[in-house]
Structure 1
Amino acid sequence: MRYLMLSIIAITLSCAQSTKKLIDDTKLTQELDSLIEVQDFFKLKKQYRSQKNNLSKENSLYYEAIILNRFNDLEASNSKIAKLLNMETLHLNDTMFNTLYNTRLLNHVNLYQYKEAAEASEHILKNYRLVNDSSKIENLENEWKIWTSLSSIPPQEIIKNEDATIPMTKDKVGLFNIDASINNKTYNYIFDTGANISVIKRSLVEELGLTYIESDFYVTAFTGEKVDSDLAIAKELSIGNLTFKNVVFLVLNDEDISFPQIEYFINGIIGFPVIEAMEEVRISKDNTISTPKTPIDYKQNNFALDGLTPIIAIEYQNDTLSFGFDTGAKSTSLYAPFFRKYKKEIEQRYTSQTFTSGSAGGIIEFEGYIMDSIPLTIGNSKTSLSSIQLHKNDIEADADHFYGNLGQDFIKQFDEMIISFKYSSVIFK
């Protein structure tokens, strides 16, 4: 009887511990989900690492797949997803399945696997339409047209046989420009990590002999305006002694990437997919870009990706804030989440006013503040910025959760900026 009673006690304790673990797991998953929702992947990674032993196996695989994606270990992320989906029993709800398949979609996009990206988009639209809002559905349908148009295009490749050094110039508005050659014709393009895909003006497509793909989709400019676009493929593109194959360009009408008000016209943009393929870029104060044949592991882990959007961790007032990372932006900007977080301090020190911002699609007015002496720290490097525009209200772009966007006014304070796409690190020297 004594042994039976002890067994009953043991079973009771075991059930109580299981129930407690389930409660803790639920609370923890809610915390992790909220960090994903606001695109705070740095805190997500830190929280997951400290608490992963308190997660069930399937939840651990689920969050690890997401984190691996955001920190650019795409094949490992796909491997975790496959392992999770092959489990005999899954307790994921439709929202989690939706996030999982969206993560797989992002992996395929960043691996230039367009056919698989189209299939992942179609799967989400077919099976998880009800857990996406109308805006997300519209974006998925629009992007599905892109990946479907590209489904027969081979993945982008880079040929890098040695270290490379690429000269840069600054144009009349202070943006970095580089020379790129297609079919032995060289033009100047903006070098912009903030451009999700490279861009070329329509009048150059035939001249450069690009493969033109007429499509039926739009891109959203910073102003929120929808701009019609097609696609074009450069079978080979050269930047210095680097060669890229199967480079995708968005084709925009010349007037959509022009600013006649200030007599500023551009040929196009070398965007994130090309820059990321270099694995590591070093941008020096003497206006040169260098990329080593073999990248270095800097172990900063202060750089993440949400799809094709670069995100950088910035320290401000002892907190880590997620900023967009846009080397094509002349100035750093602060967004509405920053205003909401520090509202009392801002309203006491500054007066609201109207200012303007512009990009492809035109110029638009915003209500906000001009802030002075904002100390920002990245890694071991710190500087203060002045005359920073702060948006009081959310902007109509994919930046609603970011606290701001880092621009060249921060970058130029240092002799060298190193971006390691391979090892998720940004260093300023």
Structure 2
Amino acid sequence: MSYRVVRPWRCRGMGFVAGLLLSLGGGASCIAAQASAPPLRAATVEAMLAAPGQEIFTLRAALPRIDIPSLALLARARIAVARLDAAEASQLVDRFLAGKPRSPRQRAIAWEIATDAAFADGDYARAAKAAQQLQAALAASGADAAKRADAAQTAMMAIQLAALPVQRLVAYQPHAEPVHKDKVGLPRATANIDGRAQEAVLDTGANLSVVSLSTARRLGLHLQQGGASVGSSSRDAVAVRLGLADTVRFAGLTLHNVAFLVLDDAQLAMPVPGGYRIDAILGFPVLRALQRFRITAAGRLEPSLSTPGPSDAGTENLLMAGNDMFVRAEVGGVPVAMHLDSGAASSALSAAFARRHADLLRGLSSRRAHVAGAGGAVERRTVIWPGAHVRVGDRETTLAGLDVELADGTGASPNVLGEDVLGAFDWWSVDFGRMRLALGPPRAKTGHPAVVSTAAP
């Protein structure tokens, strides 16, 4: 079972392309095969663009088959965001919007891409403007209430973040830091926040850094007036405030003006036997500033400078979608995009996966699983896929059991690659310059921390 700690906002995927038979693979042979295949229909391309968390690698592989110029612009913009190239994404979206009148649905996709690009780049003023345009486009397109609520939530968060000073890199001389696994298997290290030592979870799945209210007060963070709500793994909305740290020092990194989501202490206490809580999380804006980092099974975080990779985007196995990182993986030989989440103790597959691959799950018994996260827990009907093989590149591990949410659920959760997979190797590393997740040699099965489950049969 997965303890996904916090999601500052949900992936804003707008549907799933059922039955789309495109490879998730990259590289020259795949691109050549795509180029020789017939062009894609507009509806198929729009569906891929609207569901980046499911389709980002498929969309990249399909680029040569998109022969509609306006949709090709949007596809290239979505891939630019995925590669953390906000400048190129913004230029492509501007070119699209400057063209002949677009449908409300296409405008909504364009403004969603612009919002994601600005958020990933830390330009919250631009993100707020884009998110407001997204709201208008969604209303004009007749989008459902949940999608409009997500856009409103995003706009409100961006407006509040835009009122804060911009995060600024002061110095970076990389040096290693000790890391340990906590009782549910999440990686923790100590950062210095405004002159005080603070243990924090290192969470690649958190769009912003997080602290509990009592921790924010103890550290002396500047608490902002007003509040907002954000999506979480365990319920639709969790009330938050924003706090600002003057200085964060971690692994040789010195940052000024670091924003934190501030949650009530109770929202970061998880219903784990014996008690469990999180006081602080270092999320994407801080981890990205490290450029490249490796976490070893021996208990070290090893940061280093990164250099941009080759121009061929097909070599990258890590892409951003909806401000979350997704890795190209295979589960049971099936290509799948999985949300890279070091803040999840265990991996899981989504209801969308269950719909597409019902044959793989046939005959498996279902159960009610309780997934704990910020704000409480949610019950989902799942099956356990025993002995599931998970592969990333040339590395593979076998999980004793992999939770798969059944298609009668909400379907809001993505596929997740958690610590049970990452911890199966001697080390794992993220390189933001080359957009790659790398895994070291497989480690011995002994010594893994136990993962506590509240799943009920």
The alpha-carbon deviation at position 75 of structure 1 amounts to 1.4
Are the equivalent residues in 1 in contact too, given 2:351–2:411 (CA < 8 A)? no
Question: Aligned equivalents of 1:355 and 1:392: distance in 2?
Answer: 11
AA of the residue aligned to 2:289: A
**Aligned partner (choices 406, 418, 425) of residue 429 of structure 2:** 418
Deviation larger for 216-225 or 109-118: 216-225
Question: Quick one: structure 1 residues 277 and 133, their matched pair in 2 at CA, closer, same or farther if it must change by over 3 Å?
Answer: farther
**Aligned partner (choices 239, 252, 262) of residue 228 of structure 1:** 239
- Please tell me whether Structure 1 or Structure 2 has the larger radius of gyration of its CA atoms: 1
In the alignment, is residue 112 of structure 1 matched against residue 127 of structure 2? no
AA of the residue aligned to 1:228: A
3-state SS in 1 of match to 2:226: strand
Deviation larger for 146-155 or 409-418: 146-155
The alpha-carbon deviation at position 186 of structure 1 amounts to 0.7
What is residue 277 of structure 1 aligned with on the other side? 289
- Point out where structure 1 has 5 or more consecutive residues left out of the alignment: 1-23
Which structure shows the higher helix fraction?
Answer: 1
**Aligned partner (choices 132, 146, 158) of residue 122 of structure 1:** 132
What is residue 63 of structure 1 aligned with on the other side? 75
Are the equivalent residues in 1 in contact too, given 2:97–2:107 (CA < 8 A)? no
What is residue 60 of structure 2 aligned with on the other side? 45
Question: Quick one: structure 1 residues 60 and 363, their matched pair in 2 at CA, closer, same or farther if it must change by over 3 Å?
Answer: closer
Alignment of 1:287-326 (within 5 A): 287-295=299-307, 297=309, 300-326=315-341
Question: Aligned equivalents of 1:318 and 1:331: distance in 2?
Answer: 19
Question: Quick one: structure 1 residues 237 and 397, their matched pair in 2 at CA, closer, same or farther if it must change by over 3 Å?
Answer: farther
Question: Quick one: structure 1 residues 152 and 218, their matched pair in 2 at CA, closer, same or farther if it must change by over 3 Å?
Answer: closer
In the alignment, is residue 93 of structure 1 matched against residue 103 of structure 2? yes
The alpha-carbon deviation at position 127 of structure 1 amounts to 4.9
In the alignment, is residue 390 of structure 1 matched against residue 404 of structure 2? yes
Deviations 1:315-367 (A, max 9, x none): 2354321112111111111222232233234222x222223221112233332
What is residue 202 of structure 1 aligned with on the other side? 213
AA of the residue aligned to 2:337: S
Structure of greater relative contact order (alpha carbons < 8 Å, 6+ residues apart): 2
Are the equivalent residues in 2 in contact too, given 1:257–1:265 (CA < 8 A)? yes
3-state SS in 2 of match to 1:207: helix
Are the equivalent residues in 1 in contact too, given 2:56–2:319 (CA < 8 A)? yes
What is residue 34 of structure 1 aligned with on the other side? 47
* Aligned residues between the structures: 396
TM-score, with structure 2 as normaliser: 0.81
Question: Aligned equivalents of 1:121 and 1:38: distance in 2?
Answer: 17
3-state SS in 2 of match to 1:214: coil
AA of the residue aligned to 1:323: M
**Aligned partner (choices 69, 73, 92) of residue 80 of structure 1:** 92
Question: Quick one: structure 1 residues 396 and 239, their matched pair in 2 at CA, closer, same or farther if it must change by over 3 Å?
Answer: farther
Q: Give the aligned CA root-mean-square deviation in angstroms.
A: 2.2
Are the equivalent residues in 1 in contact too, given 2:215–2:280 (CA < 8 A)? no
3-state SS in 2 of match to 1:368: strand
The alpha-carbon deviation at position 398 of structure 1 amounts to 4.2
The alpha-carbon deviation at position 411 of structure 1 amounts to 0.9
Question: Quick one: structure 1 residues 200 and 397, their matched pair in 2 at CA, closer, same or farther if it must change by over 3 Å?
Answer: farther
- Point out where structure 2 has 5 or more consecutive residues left out of the alignment: 1-37, 441-457
Are the equivalent residues in 2 in contact too, given 1:280–1:420 (CA < 8 A)? yes
Are the equivalent residues in 2 in contact too, given 1:221–1:397 (CA < 8 A)? no
Are the equivalent residues in 1 in contact too, given 2:341–2:417 (CA < 8 A)? yes
Question: Aligned equivalents of 1:355 and 1:141: distance in 2?
Answer: 30
Deviations 1:99-118 (A, max 9, x none): 11121111111111111111
The alpha-carbon deviation at position 181 of structure 1 amounts to 1.1
Deviations 1:224-269 (A, max 9, x none): 2422111111121111311122211111000110136532122121
The alpha-carbon deviation at position 203 of structure 1 amounts to 1.0
3-state SS in 2 of match to 1:387: strand
What is residue 356 of structure 1 aligned with on the other side? 370
Deviations 1:5-56 (A, max 9, x none): xxxxxxxxxxxxxxxxxxx86x4332222222332110100110x225x332
AA of the residue aligned to 1:203: S
Question: Quick one: structure 1 residues 186 and 397, their matched pair in 2 at CA, closer, same or farther if it must change by over 3 Å?
Answer: farther
